[in-house]
Amino acid sequence: MFEPGRLCVKIAGRDAGKTCVIVKKIDDLIVLIDGETRRRKCNVRHLEPLEKTVDLNEDASHDEVKAVFEKFGLVVRDTKPKKSTERAKKQHKKKVKPVKVPKGQKKKKKVAAKKVEAPVVEKKPEVKTASDAAAAYVKEEVKK
Amino acid sequence: MVSGKFKSRTFRRVKITTPGGENKISYRHRAPAKPKCGGCGAILKGVPRARKSEIVNMPKTAKRPERPYGGVLCSKCTRAKIKDQARQTKI
């Protein structure tokens, strides 16, 4: 039933309802189809065979199928060959290689700058209120 | 006190926690009925169950399957219909 040259209608998928012809039998279940549908492998369970067959060589090219289909007034789906889009390649920053020091010479150690300590100013307790001043005065008196 | 329209069960109720930590009830629209096949009545796959206003903003490919009768008939009914059409037509 599903031999090369058999016209079929695809009943499943986005190409459903479109006529196609079997180009090649790949497996018990899987065939290669072409025509109004895309040129693709297909399960025979997704095909409804028609009564008509056409003369086609096995593994016929897309142009041969196109010539046959134009006789029936059917429009063959043409897929344009994909063009690889040119993308601007990213320019990576080059890493600067460290300069190698020959053996024997030691690397100079970085001399850490000594911190200059700021002179600590001793703060004298400031007398704020009159009562504190009085308390401080009493303490001094006691010490004497 | 809730507004009068929220007292009926037209809206569904969802418990939410506000940013301030309060528990409140918010009122949302109910989802529409699931889309069904025109032939056998089975639930359609690949068709969103959402309000019209949400579906309008979706891309076309998200609204229905990309096959003839997609979004109207289920896949089984579509196959049966195309088979019948193919047997009647003569090339």
Please give the residue of chain A at the shortest CA–CA distance from B64: A14
Contact A9 B90 (CB under 8 A): no
Report pLDDT digits (tens) over B25-78: 999 999 999 999 999 999 999 999 999 999 999 999 999 999 999 999 999 999
Q: How close A83 comes to chain B (CA, Å)?
A: 25
Contact A16 B67 (CB under 8 A): yes
pLDDT of residue A125: 59
Which region among A14-18, A97-101, A111-115, B50-54 has the lowest average model confidence (pLDDT)?
Answer: A111-115
Interatomic CA distance for residues A133 and A126, integer angstroms = 9
B15, pLDDT greater than 60: yes
Question: Full-prediction pTM beyond 0.95?
Answer: no
Please give the ipTM for the structure prediction. 0.75
What value does the mean pLDDT take over residues A130-134?
77
Percent of chain A with pLDDT over 90: 25
Contacting residues for A54 by C-beta, under 8 A, at least 6 apart:
A5, A7, A21, A68
Query: Which residues lie across from B11 on neighbouring strands?
Result: B29
Which region among A34-48, A107-121, A129-143 has the lowest average model confidence (pLDDT)?
Answer: A107-121
Chain B interface includes A78 (CB < 8 A):
no
Contacting residues for B24 by C-beta, under 8 A, at least 6 apart:
B15, B16, B17, B18
pLDDT of residue A108: 65
